Amino acid sequence: DIQMTQSPSSLSASVGDRVTITCRASQSIGKYLNWYQQKPGKAPKLLIYAASSLQSGVPSRFSGSGSGSGTDFTLTISSLRPEDFATYYCQQSYSIPYTFGPGTKLEIK
């Protein structure tokens, strides 16, 4: 199985800050990497798919990228807004079982 790790596990930031979350796969997954946002008591929401494609309706302050190795990926929020404070998960869809990272909790400083 492909293991996904995320760093940091939690992050405190202020409105207006630029934030980057990192996700690493235990083996190359090409661009088969997706990012989700989850708020307390709610279902996750797709933000980014295929490492860098913005899901329809998601604000452009969210962006994703991947390294050429196919193992390292980042989610960047260019200027934090109050509604962005949530938990973020990466997920690989390269091979079954589809696995998620442990999550990064983004909190208000």
CB closer to other proteins, 17 vs 100: 100
CB closer to other proteins, 30 vs 79: 30
Q: How far is the CB of 102 from other proteins (least distance, A)?
A: 5
- Output the DSSP codes for 5-65: EEE-SEEEE-TT--EEEEEEESS--TT-EEEEEE-TTS--EEEEETTTEEPTT--TTEEEE
Q: How far is the CB of 13 from other proteins (least distance, A)?
A: 21
**Identity at 79, one-letter amino acid code:** S
CB atoms near residue 2 (< 10 Å): 17
Interaction site with other proteins (CB under 8 A):
31-34, 36, 38, 43-46, 49-51, 53, 55, 89, 91, 93, 96-103
Q: How far is the CB of 97 from other proteins (least distance, A)?
A: 5
Q: How far is the CB of 16 from other proteins (least distance, A)?
A: 28
CB closer to other proteins, 14 vs 43: 43
Q: What is the dihedral of CA 75, 106, 26, 2, to 10 degrees?
A: -100
